[in-house]
């Protein structure tokens, strides 16, 4: 199972919005609504921020939102804050009942 495709890096200024894409196939992203997103700060464990494409766990800021169109899922962060600077990973359940991650996107807040 190939990794999902994410941009290596994105950047934005405080207060702006950014979007990170996550492209897979009909066997993963396009075939299931089990796309999730994770935030990983340096030296820390990943944290779930979006599950089932659009849902936020309790306690996650509503500045984080998810969507999907076809084989591509997206994470949007609005009102960028310095604390959002981290690596972001998407993940999808697959037709082989396994899971695949994206390669990760480094977000820099300018």
Partner 1 sequence: QVQVVESGGGVVQPGRSLRLSCAASGFTFSSHYMHWVRQAPGKGLEWVAIISFDGSYTLHADPVKGRFTISRDNSKNTLYLQMNSLRPEDTAVYYCVKDRSNAWSFDYWGQGTQVIVSS
Binding residues for partner 1, rule: CB under 8 A, are 1, 3, 32, 34, 36, 38, 45-48, 51-52, 55, 57, 89, 91, 93, 97-104
The angle subtended at Cα 110 by Cα 14 and Cα 15, nearest 5°, is 10
For the chain, the straight-line distance linking the first and the last C-alpha, in angstroms and rounded, comes to: 35
Rounded to a whole number of angstroms, the minimum distance from the CB of residue 5 to partner 1 is: 12
Task: Give the shortest CB-10-to-partner 1 separation in angstroms.
Answer: 16
d(CA 19, CA 6): 11
The set of residues, in sequence order, having a beta carbon less than 8 Å from that of 44 and lying 6+ positions away, is none
38 vs 64 by CB, closer to partner 1: 38
Q: How far is the CB of 83 from partner 1 (least distance, A)?
A: 19
> Which of 8/82 has CB closer to partner 1?
8
């Amino acid at each position: 199972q190939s990794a999902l495709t994410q941009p290596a890096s994105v950047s934005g200024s405080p207060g702006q919005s950014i979007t990170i894409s996550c492209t897979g196939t009909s066997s993963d992203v396009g075939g299931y609504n089990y796309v999730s997103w994770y935030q990983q700060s340096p030296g820390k464990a990943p944290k779930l921020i979006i599950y089932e494409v659009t849902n936020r766990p309790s306690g996650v800021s509503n500045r984080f939102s998810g969507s999907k169109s076809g084989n591509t899922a997206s994470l949007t962060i609005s009102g960028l804050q310095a604390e959002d600077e981290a690596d972001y990973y998407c993940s999808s359940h697959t037709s082989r009942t396994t899971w695949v991650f994206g390669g990760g996107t480094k977000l820099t807040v300018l």
